[in-house]
A = this chain, B = another copy of it.
Amino acid sequence: MTLLLSNDEVEALLPMPECLAAMEEAYRELGDDRGGNGVRSEILTPTDRPDALYSLLTMAGVVPKFGIGAVRINSDLLTWPQSDAGLRRVKVPAAPNGRYVGLVLLFDTKTGEPLAIYPDGVVQRMRVGATCGIAAKYLARAEASDVALLGSGWQAGGQLMAICAMRTIKRIRCFSPNARRRKEFCAEMEVKLGVPVIPAETAQAAMTDADIVMCATNSMQPVLNADWIEPGMHVSTLKRLEIDAQVAAAANVVVTHVRGAPSVIVRSAGADLARDTEHQKAALSNALKTSERPELAELLLGRAAGRKSEKDVTLFLNYTGMGYQFAATGHVIYRNAKKRGIGRTIDTDLLTSALPS
């Protein structure tokens, strides 16, 4: 039987501590070349809407130790509206009932069979949050307790869940451009985490005296100024263009998520929206020297150095999502679903075939 799980079920099946443990183990496996991460492939085509492109994104990974392979698929209408805070990349929930389309399919490496299918909404932020959490475990000061968060969207919540599992956090300040949204977000996260989460008027105000600065915006221009960085801080960023090269220059230690994960974008004729941002991202990657930085797995395995003193500034560049992360989280989700008997089932024969192919 193949399981069909909802986002709510995935949330219940993937507690952050288990997510962090599985992800860290998976990164160690990857660092020792015992994991497989495929190419990230995105196809962009024009749509009837002049302001939107259709995007079909696939990524896959296998964690042999867990016996799990995963494919993640996103089928989205993308827009790039200009806001007061600059250009943002925004998905349109155009599927029936105003919904988004992101799917994870899990496979058993022993038999090949499809084990589970679920939406990627919850797991998406859990894996991104966990990646930054693991980096902070190895890079942030041991007694770090004060967090600045830039952004108040879906990903921002995952960042807080992860950092609260890794350090004893006493205060969180959050800035995002929309005052009402950041206030709602702070109230919601304070209840969820049991830690004071305070709205800040500016990014600089959120960062003053903070130990850890987590950027989790969908901005396509820098959201923090290198001048605001204080000695001893640990900074992490999710989106290219969210920080600039001055921030990297201000850091004593810079670790990138993964150096070698290939990503290929194919655009058909007329799919030109936001094409400039690809060049900007490539230029920023060059400026940040991401291809020369040590990567997360090397840090975990002791093959790359972390901070050398309490004064060091550390920076983690969490760019380039990997299909591999969905196999690591999928392992936890599937194991717990089976243990607790959660999820609908589909007859696996409907998803397999007597025919070779």
Contacts and interface: CB of A to CB of B under 8 A. Distances in A.
Interface of A: 4, 6-7, 32-39, 41-48, 54, 56, 58, 60-62, 64, 69, 71, 73-77, 91, 93-103, 105, 107-114, 117, 119-122, 124-125, 153-154, 262, 264, 266-271, 344, 346, 348-357
A58 B33 contact: no
23 contacts: A7-B353, A33-B269, A36-B43, A36-B44, A36-B267, A36-B268, A37-B266, A38-B42, A39-B39, A39-B41, A39-B266, A56-B62, A56-B107, A71-B73, A77-B112, A93-B356, A95-B112, A96-B113, A97-B349, A100-B357, A103-B114, A154-B357, A344-B350
B43 A69 contact: yes
Contacts of A71: 56, 58, 71, 73
A334 to B, nearest CB: 14
Given A69-B56, A112-B95, A62 B354 contact: no
A112 B101 contact: yes
A237 B103 CA distance: 35
B350 A268 contact: no
- Sort A-B residue pairs by CB-CB distance and give the 4 closest, nearest first: A121-B355, A38-B41, A36-B43, A99-B352
Chain multiplicity (copies)? 2
Given A103-B114, A107-B101, A96 B6 contact: no
B38 A61 contact: no
B56 A124 contact: no
A41 B41 contact: yes
Contacts of A4: 346, 350
Contacts of A91: 356-357
Contact of A354 (B7, B34, B36): B7
Nearest to A100: B353
Contacts of A46: 64
Nearest to A267: B36
A33 B269 CA distance: 5
Contacts of A108: 75
B355 A119 contact: yes
A356 B154 contact: yes
A315 B121 CA distance: 48
A268 B64 contact: yes
A6 B154 contact: no
A113 B93 contact: no
Contacts of A110: 47-48, 54, 94
Given A33-B269, A269-B33, A351 B103 contact: yes
Most B CB within 10 A of own CB, among A6, A38, A69: A38
Given A268-B62, A351-B119, A353-B102, A113 B75 contact: yes
A34 B268 contact: yes
Given A54-B112, A112-B54, A353-B121, A268 B38 contact: no
Nearest to A107: B75
A260 to B, nearest CB: 10
A293 to B, nearest CB: 21
A98 B113 CA distance: 10
A101 B100 CA distance: 26
Nearest to A55: B112
B119 A353 contact: yes
Given A95-B112, A154-B357, 13 more contacts: A7-B353, A36-B56, A43-B60, A45-B109, A93-B356, A96-B113, A97-B349, A98-B354, A99-B352, A100-B112, A119-B353, A122-B355, A125-B357
